[in-house]
Chains A and B, each alone.
Chain A
Amino acid sequence: MTRKKAVAEATPSRPAPPHAEPEGESEAAAHLLELYRQMQTIRRIEEECARSYAQGKIGGFLHLYIGQESVGVGALAALRPDDYVIGTYRDHGLAIAKGMPPRAVMAELYGKVTGCSRGLGGSMHLFDVAHGMLGGYGIVGGHIPLAAGTAFASKYRGDGRVTLCFFGEGSVSIGSFHEALSLAALWKLPCVFICENNEYSMGTPLQRTMSVEDVSQKALAYGMARDRFFARDVLEVEHRIREAVDRARETSEPTLVEVRTYRFRGHSMSDPGKYRTSEEIEAQKKHDPLNRARDQLKTMGKSEDELAKLDAAIEEVVRDAIEHAETSPEPGPEILEETTYSGPFAR
């Protein structure tokens, strides 16, 4: 799998394409193509997750990212490979954008031992130490102090890493959000707090859960830098998050970024969605970031044929991930004690 950074920082020695297109434009198209590939992979993987869930092959809770892919993909494109990412239970997109193999993600959802968390975490708890994926967490807001902690460690060691912390607007009323932002601003920790505002918390619209409409205003009380924008263009997301990442890396200052997005599916698979109209969802789908990226790619000279080939390659990745998940073994009880404690079990 080609890393997005490798695309973004392709060296001039790379052979020029056959078309007499200027080098910069070609690289820009290749970069967007890579972001599109990630978004489309996430969407297709999740569509298949929904199918497997309906078939009873995936248990527990399943929170889909469909509609929000441009946030995770755009934001993570602004990172170094060794930077840290931490998020909520809606974590499939972040995991794949961070470079985790779709096979390992799908196997985890199936509860298989080949899953990224060996079948012990499930959909909500995707971890990968090698990729700097610090996991998805199930207590709303509870992971935000952890992000301040990994950023604290980076500053303590001077390793130059930045932590990206993702959460929904449903998290910004709870104390752990405020304590983490307060401490990150006080101690100047290299962390970017990304609020993915999909407007509905679980099923309650923002105006009924918050006294202000602009989430980014929460930064003001902490003297923290802030930003606020729509997630419809993945390149815009990357560009704006890069500003915050650069600020964190260069001056060790945190930022609160409110990214306005929309989930096309329910909060989880058990959500009947009675709190919004189908007209509203259809109107929002007109801003689908995947369609926008696809249109942009065509404008940049990518042919329908080229995009179809990419889509076909993604289908193969999805098919392979499902097959891997379905044929992998389950973990046995012997795994439980060694994963609970490091060293002998403390009984």
Chain B
Amino acid sequence: MREIRFREALREAIAEEMERDDAVFLMGEEVGRYQGAYKVTEGLFERFGERRVIDAPIAENGFAGIGIGAAMVGLRPIIEFMTFNFSAVAFDQIISNAAKVRQMSGGQFTCPIVFRGPNGSARQVGSQHSQSFESFYAHVPGLKVVAPAFASDAKGLLKAAIRDDNPVCFLESETLYGIKGDVPDPASGDHLVEIGKAHVPHAGTDVTIVSWSRITHVALQAIAELAKEGISAELVDLRSLRPLDEETIVNSVRKTHRVVVAHEGWPYGGVGAEIVDRIQRLAFDDLDAPVLRISGMDVPMPYNAKLEQHCLPQVPAIVEACKRVLYVH
């Protein structure tokens, strides 16, 4: 093990898979000579050359479509969106082509492609650059959606996503790129994390917090606060949103009987709502309280720093929700 940053873990995953398979290439805005808008792809252009690290003009619909076409005939593209906000411009390509081509061809064509980039809020980047896209993409059969919180999972899941024969939306976070975490040394073998498996980074007995991506770290802070008051909270970090690891969620509910789902996206029809549905269907008799959701506020993200924090899930809100499901008020 050694400690590396989240962005370095992603870079290692891309480099190792490009080394392993010539069919893997990277395409996106400023990924090459500029070294990546968030420096995830730093050094890859020098290492792999312009054939495989391709700077695209600002044309997400066009280059996402090029990636899908290339994937249909056997390449394994990694398409970087500078942020997932810009994937909206390529939405038709992702949902009408990538997600559909296997089924509408009767299973003849597959689409092994990864769409990756930062998702959700950054810091004061305003309403158009702060959106969470997981509910849009997880809604679509034919797609997989992954959103890691830790450097180790970022590497292992990205490698798994590149090797997956289905289109995968790989959601990162600008605010996580700099965090450090233990990641196995490449010399100790391939580090792969299976898509569709949640994990429990913190075990507890009184209440379960289900989260993913950046909010997992907020939840860990909330757990520390709860511990001060003698409340033992368990954290389920989903890592994958589609497929969703029902088993790990239900096992935790059976243990704690109380659940708070915390995520950054909007509440209406969000991934949190889907998780709540699964819990009430699969573990109704194990629940001792209604499941609560802490989500981003139901408004476009404001620029003002204080208002932005007001709109995002914070430690006190998660702590408060945990107490409510424990009826300790």
Contacts and interface: CB of A to CB of B under 8 A. Distances in A.
A, B bound: yes
Interface of A: 84, 86, 115-121, 125, 127-129, 134-135, 137-139, 142-154, 156-157, 175-176, 179-180, 182-183, 186, 335-336, 338-347
A147 B70 CA distance: 9
Given A134-B109, A157-B75, 8 more contacts: A84-B73, A118-B107, A145-B93, A149-B70, A152-B69, A156-B25, A182-B59, A183-B63
B103 A183 contact: no
The 6 closest A-B CB pairs, nearest first, are A149-B69, A145-B65, A179-B62, A118-B106, A127-B105, A146-B69
Contact of A139 (B96, B106, B110): B96
A183 B144 contact: no
A156 B69 CA distance: 13
Given A179-B61, A183-B56, A121 B70 contact: no
Interface in B101-131: 101-110, 112
A75 to B, nearest CB: 19
Contact of A341 (B62, B108, B142): B142
B69 A145 contact: yes
B69 A346 contact: no
Contact of B105 (A129, A335, A345): A129
Contacts of B65: 142, 144-146, 148-149, 176, 179-180
21 contacts: A117-B108, A118-B106, A120-B103, A120-B106, A127-B109, A135-B104, A135-B105, A137-B97, A147-B69, A149-B73, A150-B73, A151-B69, A152-B66, A175-B61, A176-B61, A183-B57, A341-B102, A343-B165, A344-B243, A346-B143, A346-B243
B244 interface: yes
B162 to A, nearest CB: 14
A150 B106 contact: no
Contacts of A116: 106
A162 to B, nearest CB: 13
Contacts of B96: 137-139, 142
Nearest to A345: B243
Contacts of A339: 102-103, 106-107
A194 B211 CA distance: 49
Contacts of B110: 342
B67 interface: yes
Contact of A156 (B70, B93, B195): B70
A176 B63 CA distance: 10
B interface, size bucket: 35 or more
A153 B62 contact: no
B68 interface: yes
B157 to A, nearest CB: 14
Interface in B174-213: 195-196
Contacts of A86: 69
B61 A125 contact: no
A128 B62 CA distance: 24
Interface in B36-94: 51, 56-57, 59, 61-75, 92-93
B209 to A, nearest CB: 23
Contacts of A153: 69-70, 73-75
Contacts of B164: 343
A296 to B, nearest CB: 37
B132 interface: no
B60 to A, nearest CB: 8
A316 B66 CA distance: 41
B57 A182 contact: yes
Nearest to B107: A339
A146 B72 contact: yes
B165 A342 contact: yes
Given A153-B73, A346-B166, A179 B68 contact: no
Contacts of B300: none
Contacts of B51: 156
Contacts of B62: 145, 148, 176, 179-180, 182-183
